[in-house]
Amino acid sequence: MKPPIPRQTLRSHHLTSKTFARSFWGRKGDEPVESLIPQIAEEWHRGVEQHPDLHRIPPKSVAILGAGVTGLTTAYQLSHFSPETSITVLESSPRTGGWIQSLKIPTSKGSIIFETGPRTLRPWTVNGIITLNLISHLNLQSQILQIPKTSPAAKNRYIYFNKQLNELPSSLSGIFNALRLPVLKGAATSVLTEIFRRKRAKDVEDESVESFLTRRLGANLTNNLASAVFHGIYAGDIANLSADALLHTVYRNERVYGSITRGMLGVQEMVLEDKLLEGVYGSRTAPLLNQLRKASIYSFKGGMETLTRRMEEAVTEECDVTIKTGVTVDGLRYNKEKNEVEVLGYDSPANSFDFVISTLPAWKTANLLPPNTSNSLYETQGVTVMVVNLFYDQPNMTGYSGFGYLIPKSVPLEQNPHRALGVIFDSDAMPEQDERKGTKVTVMLGGHWWDNATSLPSQEDGIRMAREVLNQHLGITAEPTETMASLQMDCIPQYGVGHAGRLRQIHEDLMDKMGGRLVLAGSSYGGVGLNDCVRSARDAAFGVAAGRPMTNLERWAFEEVWIPKDMP
């Protein structure tokens, strides 16, 4: 195996405005960047719309592959950053929206909404703020439904363990009661002694989440708690997922400060780019952030698809983007002489573009490229999840009030024979979304448990399995009034150990073989959440609008600069 390629030192350790500016805007200056952050943020702020970059060469034509949330956001942002560019979005399915789908089920007592993909968003992260900025631009503020931080749905999350639901602590005082729960056995000692554990060897760049957390916190907390949390985000197995990719700050803290606890007690730091984007988009989005100041999570009155539908309307009617659905792309070829990418297979034998932005999963993008362009693209694969929505006429059927519960990998097979990952209590999490009152839940099955499955359940099987899960865990035997099962094939990319190194390798390969004209965005690279996809779309659009050769994986290719979070 080839040794992982190191990050390039583009910016010096002691970052100056000169090194920073060279990497972003080509500015000159020698003051420490720390004193310039408000000015640089302001420059970015203006740059988001006006691109003061003197070297900007706006691309004449750009093709975007995929019309899911990443593809639509990329098209929307690019048409604003570079109005002169002709943008074509190519989508293989007949509909846009990708994994986001909110189905409105009409019934005699009013409609209900079944989400077959992501259903809520979290506002309080850098990427969350960027999504809110997009929502403001799309004028969707009045469509938002928010769940306050104080509501049970925001506070109560459960873990199924020892044949019962264990409520996780949501406050400091709650921690002391929770420590008595079987699922948190030994947790107090593990956490208090973490600071004394030896830090990892210098040459260890990455390891599995399981190996890292077991070293730091012991096997009980790792298998009974952490494995459940990672089921609830990645539907993945912590034995395979990368600590560096998924627990980036915490993993860095161990390297820099010697322990997770020391990192938490010290000065909180974040990556410089994130800090700048937080400043820029935070001030731009202030009214909506204020509207959501008490919110823990939010969605839309018509479900999550409100966002992608509105975006499709905006790009086609207000931004003059062409969306072609139901088209197949057979391949991508770089024409070095013309410095263009040819898209093979649709309309005519070849269509050339200044840039192609692929928002497809990494392995699908790899299949479009000439053999051996970048084999690392194949190494991120997705897991399949069956999403089963059930609606019952009776209220409060679950007997609990909260967001839902997750099932750790340590639960024996006989207590979870259908390999459920978790259950969302939708009617608690988003009570105002449905006209008809009752209990709505979603059971998620499979994920990594189905990695080597020779067959997958049918929709009828999925509904039967979900009902058995609810009976076994919550004693629900009633007949649901409405049901729906969706088998979401390869829907969540798994960031395996060595993920960051592979992204660096992909960056090098694509710069070399595709001339920096094939740009990547979407859930295969920097986060699987909806907010992460919006962020990757923004970054892709922002760079391409300036006409710079890029891959959108620069974040992994170049050295990171960390600065204190509370720097003004």
By beta-carbon proximity to ligand LM7OVKF4, the closer residue of 36 and 311 is 311
What tokens were used for 216? 């730091």
Of 560, 550, 559, the closest CA to residue 508 belongs to 550
Q: What crossing angle do the helices spanning 69-81 and 33-50 adopt, rounded to 10°? A: 90
By beta-carbon proximity to ligand LM7OVKF4, the closer residue of 63 and 386 is 386
529 in contact with ligand LM7OVKF4 (CB under 6 A) = yes
The nearest distance, CB 416 to ligand LM7OVKF4, in angstroms, is 12
157 in contact with ligand LM7OVKF4 (CB under 6 A) = yes
Of 98, 303, 404, 446, the one binding ligand LM7OVKF4 (CB under 6 A) is 404
Q: How is residue 237 annotated by DSSP?
A: -
By beta-carbon proximity to ligand LM7OVKF4, the closer residue of 392 and 403 is 403
The nearest distance, CB 238 to ligand LM7OVKF4, in angstroms, is 13
405 in contact with ligand LM7OVKF4 (CB under 6 A) = yes
Of 302, 303, 382, 422, the one binding ligand LM7OVKF4 (CB under 6 A) is 422
Contact present, 252 and 508 (Cβ < 8 Å) = no
Number of H helices, E strands in the chain: 22, 21
Of 89, 360, 388, 444, the one binding ligand LM7OVKF4 (CB under 6 A) is 444
CB proximity list for 297: less than 8 A, separation 6 or greater = 120, 121, 122, 123, 146, 147, 153, 154, 429
By beta-carbon proximity to ligand LM7OVKF4, the closer residue of 17 and 299 is 299
The nearest distance, CB 137 to ligand LM7OVKF4, in angstroms, is 20
Pairing type for strands 61-65 and 355-358 reads: parallel
The nearest distance, CB 229 to ligand LM7OVKF4, in angstroms, is 5
By beta-carbon proximity to ligand LM7OVKF4, the closer residue of 388 and 406 is 406
Q: What crossing angle do the helices spanning 126-137 and 272-284 adopt, rounded to 10°? A: 30
What are the CB-based long-range contacts (under 8 Å, 24+) for 307-312? 307/69, 307/100, 307/135, 307/138, 307/140, 308/68, 308/69, 308/72, 308/96, 308/97, 308/98, 308/100, 309/97, 310/138, 310/140, 311/69, 311/72, 311/73, 311/76, 311/138, 312/67, 312/72, 312/96, 312/97
Selected range binding ligand LM7OVKF4 among 338-346, 504-512, 527-535, 537-545, rule: CB under 6 A: 527-535
By beta-carbon proximity to ligand LM7OVKF4, the closer residue of 126 and 406 is 406
Binders of ligand LM7OVKF4 among 263-302, rule CB under 6 A?
none
The nearest distance, CB 231 to ligand LM7OVKF4, in angstroms, is 5
Of 67, 153, 181, 235, the one binding ligand LM7OVKF4 (CB under 6 A) is 235
Selected range binding ligand LM7OVKF4 among 60-68, 179-187, 372-380, 526-534, rule: CB under 6 A: 526-534
Distance CA 168, CA 165 (A): 9
Q: How far is CA 247 from CA 158, 317, 527, in A?
A: 21, 41, 11
By beta-carbon proximity to ligand LM7OVKF4, the closer residue of 295 and 528 is 528
Of 551, 482, 552, 494, the closest CA to residue 523 belongs to 494
By beta-carbon proximity to ligand LM7OVKF4, the closer residue of 68 and 118 is 118
Binders of ligand LM7OVKF4 among 76-135, rule CB under 6 A?
118, 122
What residue has token string 């573009």?
353
The nearest distance, CB 125 to ligand LM7OVKF4, in angstroms, is 9
Distance CA 207, CA 215 (A): 11
By beta-carbon proximity to ligand LM7OVKF4, the closer residue of 15 and 533 is 533
The nearest distance, CB 235 to ligand LM7OVKF4, in angstroms, is 4
Of 528, 541, 546, 563, the one binding ligand LM7OVKF4 (CB under 6 A) is 528
Count residues contacting ligand LM7OVKF4 (CB under 6 A)? Answer: 21
Q: Which amino acid is at 416?
A: N
Q: Which helix (H) or strand (E) holds 269?
A: strand 269-271
Q: Which amino acid is at 434?
A: D
Of 278, 375, 328, 355, the closest CA to residue 521 belongs to 355
By beta-carbon proximity to ligand LM7OVKF4, the closer residue of 235 and 550 is 235
Residue 198 has φ and ψ, to the nearest 5°, of -70, 140
Torsion over CA: 222, 225, 230, 235 (sign): positive
Selected range binding ligand LM7OVKF4 among 60-68, 85-93, 303-311, 420-428, rule: CB under 6 A: 420-428
Binders of ligand LM7OVKF4 among 454-513, rule CB under 6 A?
none
Chain length of the chain:
568
The nearest distance, CB 403 to ligand LM7OVKF4, in angstroms, is 5
Closest CB to ligand LM7OVKF4: residue number: 529
Distance CA 262, CA 268 (A): 10
Distance CA 71, CA 247 (A): 27
169: burial class by Cβ within 10 Å (0-12, 13-18, 19+)?
Answer: middle
How many Cα atoms sit within 13 Å of 394 on the Cβ side?
9
Binding flags for ligand LM7OVKF4, 330-369, as an x/- string (CB under 6 A): ----------------------------------------
Residues forming contacts to ligand LM7OVKF4 in the complex (CB under 6 A) are 118, 122, 157, 229, 231-233, 235, 385, 403-406, 421-424, 444, 528-530
